[in-house]
Chain A
Amino acid sequence: MPDAMFTAEPDLLFDATRDGSSGLRTEEMLINMGPQHPSTHGVLRLLLRTDGEMVVEAVPHIGYLHRCAEKIGENVQPYQFIPKTDRMDYLAAMNNNHVFSLAVEKLLGVEVPERAGYIRVIMAELNRIASHLVAFGTYGLDMGAFTAVLYAFREREYILDLFEAACGARLTYSYITIGGVTFDLPDRFLERLTEFLDYFEPKIDEYDRLLSYNHIFVKRTAGVGVISAEDAIAWGLTGPCLRASGVKWDLRRGMPYELYVRLDFYIPVGRPGGGDIPRGVVVGDCWNRYFVRMQEMRESVRILRQCIAGIPAGEVRAKVPKNVKLPADEVYFEGENPRGQLGFLVVGDGSPIPWRVKARGPSFCNLSITSHVCRGVLLADVPAIIGSIDIVLGEVDR
């Protein structure tokens, strides 16, 4: 800091740090945030150029978790690649298995049995709730509300128990696979799922009272990091980040896959303040990105109840030989993950091993808008913005 700062009149000092209009010069400082920082949700490094409390420029540096999963994908057979998809977005492993399986099934022309389709949607929606619970809890942590995460992890535990009962794993499932799912549901699974939904649904109101409408939380997130609908589309944002900007677009509705065409659910979008939305909230801000996820949990519960009512008996896996030769063709398939549209480009060349597997991670695209949004915000708003985008670095870096 220049010496003049200490001798200046208090008013002048205030003006100088605000906008520099008094002629006093503040020095720019480079701050390295991460890669080991609690609010970067993993190994993300941000290089911030700051002018006092203001961020002039934010440059994200990624790749700390890069394992080149795509290179592995072109050295193994598709069913062997499914465990690698678990490790991309590890908070939504079921959804990753699902989208990759659908892509390969499209390439092979495999029809999935109806019961398997229902089980897949049940698992995908349960995982969506589990993933949004982590987003909700850790976002509370980022904003200094330490209670939320305890509730979020308590509820998530029930979901992980259900997953464990179905496939034995609690984080990396590899349960949904090419042609269906690996095992049928265990005994009493649907009853336990119903019990969980009856228990969980009123809890969402509790979270709203605890965090969503908390005055301090609203102050920290409302009107912060606003992304317009045009910007969101231009930067390739998808999922809750896109919907929070007022774009009512969901692949499950827009280009339905699996059974979603039969299921009835509402697509929550960002709304301006007023009515039951806190004052100061604008479309596309951090609060809306957070709140869209809270509403999506309710919609997932609705979808799950419809699946429980409609699930038929039958086979859970189509007959797909393990050593199946992939046709010399190419598919691109996208599905709606908790974080947005996950896409896989699978290129076959007539051998059992794909020529190329490309993953389009929603976190990767959503994160790319960071430097655009973080320009000119307060330093303390950077964790609010990063947290609201809800990235998983395992998928950003692949």
Chain B
Amino acid sequence: MTPEETAGLIGSAFPDALADAPMDTLHPAVGVVAGRWHEVALFLRDDPRLRLNLLRCLSGVDRIAEGRIELVYDLMSIRPGGEGEAWSCGVQAAVRIGVPRDGGSLPSVADVWPAAEWHEREVYDLLGVSFSGHPDLRRILCPDDWVGHPLRKDYVFPVEYHGIPGSTEFGQRSPRH
């Protein structure tokens, strides 16, 4: 199924949920409005034509010039073959959602695909996007008291963290003995 057909299926079920997203790329993704994401996600998982049961990846990309953070969900549908045969990939799809950089939020899909729970925590930790309805939204890779979100393009590396010297605009700070 092509991404255009996937977009058509979503569009026929939720006419106001589609957003603009480029399709002529090496990684075409269906644009979805942030507020409608949870319903669309349930549809993607449960619709018999799609059955996108495997959430492969959730990536956040900081589009600082456009003032938004883009979230890319990569999904796949794996289906059993005949007796003793290998499973096959039915449909592949990607979904692209833009949220504002400041105070951006979108619905969590951790209840749709439990795999999303850690992926969403990672995006929250490294890019500062909040997911409403997430069961346990806290930092996952950085320490709980870390300041800022490292994968934002305007992130400033701390000069010091609990006595550990960080770096300055002049490069690595020499350790104090």
Instruction: From B30-38, B87-95, B159-167, give the one contacting chain A.
Output: B87-95
A-B contact pairs, 17 of them (CB 8 A): A62-B141, A63-B139, A68-B126, A70-B126, A234-B115, A236-B54, A247-B80, A247-B87, A249-B86, A249-B87, A254-B86, A334-B57, A345-B27, A356-B151, A358-B61, A360-B74, A397-B141
Across the interface, B151 reaches (CB within 8 A) one of A71, A236, A247, A255, namely A71
Across the interface, B114 reaches (CB within 8 A) one of A62, A235, A360, namely A235
CB distance from A361 to the nearest CB of B (A): 10
Inter-chain contact A63/B57, CB cutoff 8 Å:
no
Across the interface, A233 reaches (CB within 8 A) one of B26, B54, B60, namely B54
The verdict on B55 contacting chain A, using a C-beta distance below 8 Å, is: yes
CB distance from B29 to the nearest CB of A (A): 9
Give a binary string over A174-213; 1 marks a CB under 8 Å from any B CB, 0 the rest: 0000000000000000000000000000000000000000
Across the interface, A330 reaches (CB within 8 A) one of B26, B54, B80, namely B26
Contacts of B126 in A (CB 8 A): 68, 70
For this complex, into which size category does the number of interface residues on chain A fall? 35 or more
Inter-chain contact A332/B72, CB cutoff 8 Å:
yes
CB distance from A178 to the nearest CB of B (A): 16
Number of A-B contacts (CB under 8 A): 106
The verdict on A53 contacting chain B, using a C-beta distance below 8 Å, is: no
Give the A-binding residues of B (Cβ under 8 A).
25-27, 53-57, 59-62, 72, 74, 78, 80-81, 85-89, 94, 113-115, 117-118, 126, 139-143, 150-151
Give a binary string over A330-365; 1 marks a CB under 8 Å from any B CB, 0 the rest: 111010000001010101000000011010100011
Give the B-binding residues of A (Cβ under 8 A).
62-63, 66, 68, 70-71, 74, 106-107, 233-236, 247-250, 253-255, 267, 329-332, 334, 341, 343, 345, 347, 355-356, 358, 360, 364-365, 368-369, 372, 397-398
Across the interface, B118 reaches (CB within 8 A) one of A234, A255, A368, namely A368
Contacts of A365 in B (CB 8 A): 115, 118
Inter-chain contact B115/A368, CB cutoff 8 Å:
yes
Q: Which of B25, B85, B113, B140 counts the most A-chain CB atoms under 10 A from its CB?
A: B140
Q: How far is the CA of A124 from the CA of B36 in the complex (A)?
A: 42
